Amino acid sequence: MSESELLSGIKSHAQRRLVLVSGRAYPELATSVAHELGIEVLGSDMHTFAGSEIYARFEESVRGADIFVLQSHTRPINEWLMEQLIMVDAAKRASAKRITVVAPYYPYARQDKKGRGREPISARLVADMFKVAGADRIMSVDLHAAQIQGFFDGPVDHLFAQPVLLEHFRETLSREALTVVSPDMGRVKVADAWSDKLGAPLAIIHKRRDPKVHNDVSVHEIVGDVSGRVCLLVDDLIDTGRTIVKAAEALKANGATGVVVAATHALFSDPAYEILQSDFIDRVVVTDTLPVPADKRWDRLTVLSIAPLLARAIHEVFADGSVTSMFDGAA
Ligand code: R5P
């Protein structure tokens, strides 16, 4: 081999390779992301044994690759989390150079602190598990609590869906008589950023949750003027839908002329599909960080694609660009 052949060989070896692999929870999202990136999702052999253990093997070499392991943490979350951990382990043992866990919805994000004695901090446990499996970095959208970034010992790319949602509302929602509403005290900072962006006043709902009855809420009071206003309720996630429906009911009872909901993660656990169609809510707009089956969608629901945002962030990470600059001025 001549010296120049050797040098060009070394150069091509130095070229990094972007690889995207997907768990089985929501492969359509990975396909859309790959499409945006102009690549194919790398094939993998994934199956579940009779005893419910999961098997994963990549169909091509990932040696030296900058690999992004995408999983959407929909139900059954524990199974899909385990699958993603196994995929990360497989990538590590196959000598991938850098492994990024892409978890558009971070599992267990709501268990980010000990609210009461003898509780776990499950969001921290998840970060530890990703690390032990071999993840070098994590990418996620609208973390329920920003401090989760500090749970992982490595870089965390925290993406915001706000630009995607805002673009939609700029085209579809009149700003006249618009009020942005935070459905609880925990969302005030994010709702405030929305109010800035839209130049609309802010109202806050004081929500109460019975710690012994999970997933049930009551509205205590509304701070701010909502009478005669169209209210844009912004939340990071909708699970059973009770928070949003109770908030919408209270807003309408206090004279709101319309209620439009914007949320990033559509967990949509029972009875969300049923109660979100309530007459108190005029429109619900979510992203597809989690799958929303076509046969369960209703006419006042809009699902926006998060794939372009994920693809751009993946490209920025791969190219050593800037993820922060994607969100200048966002929440
Ligand atoms: C609360 O802190 C969250 O931001 C959501 O408002 C809440 O977890 C949604 O749950 P659900 O839809 O079951 O009321």
Which tokens go with 185?
């005290």
User: From CA 238, how far away is CA 168, in angstroms rounded?
Assistant: 19
Q: Say if ligand 1 is within 6 A of residue 246 CB.
A: no
**Ligand 1 atom nearest 267 alpha carbon:** 12
Using a 10 angstrom Cβ sphere, with 0-12 exposed, 13-18 middle and 19 or more buried, the burial of residue 182 is buried
The helix or strand, by DSSP H or E, that contains position 12, with its residue range, turns out to be helix 3-14
- Classify domain 162-304 at the CATH class level: alpha beta
Q: Say if ligand 1 is within 6 A of residue 235 CB.
A: yes
Contact 98, 66 (CB under 8 A): yes
Among the four given CATH numbers 3.40.190.10, 3.40.50.2020, 3.40.630.30, 1.10.10.60, the one describing domain 7-160+308-326? 3.40.50.2020
Which tokens go with 120?
């776990």
Spacing, Cα 276 to ligand 1 middle (Å): 13
Per-residue pLDDT of the chain (331 residues; tens, 9 = 90+): 566 655 555 555 567 899 999 999 999 999 999 999 999 999 999 999 999 999 999 999 999 999 999 999 999 999 999 999 999 999 999 999 999 999 999 999 999 999 999 999 999 999 999 999 999 999 999 999 999 999 999 999 999 999 999 999 999 999 999 999 999 998 999 999 999 999 999 999 998 776 666 667 777 799 999 999 999 999 999 999 999 999 999 999 999 999 999 999 999 999 999 999 999 999 999 999 999 999 999 999 999 999 999 999 999 999 999 999 999 755 5
User: How much is the CA Rg of the chain, to the nearest whole Å?
Assistant: 22
Contact 165, 287 (CB under 8 A): yes
Q: Say if ligand 1 is within 6 A of residue 186 CB.
A: yes
- Write down the domain spans for the chain: 7-160+308-326, 162-304
Q: pTM score, two decimals?
A: 0.94
Number of H helices, E strands in the chain: 9, 14
Annotated binding site for D-ribose 5-phosphate: 209, 235, 239-243
Ligand 1 mutation pick, 235, 264, 268, max ligand atoms within 8 A of CB: 235
CA angle 144, 147, 149 (to 5 degrees): 95
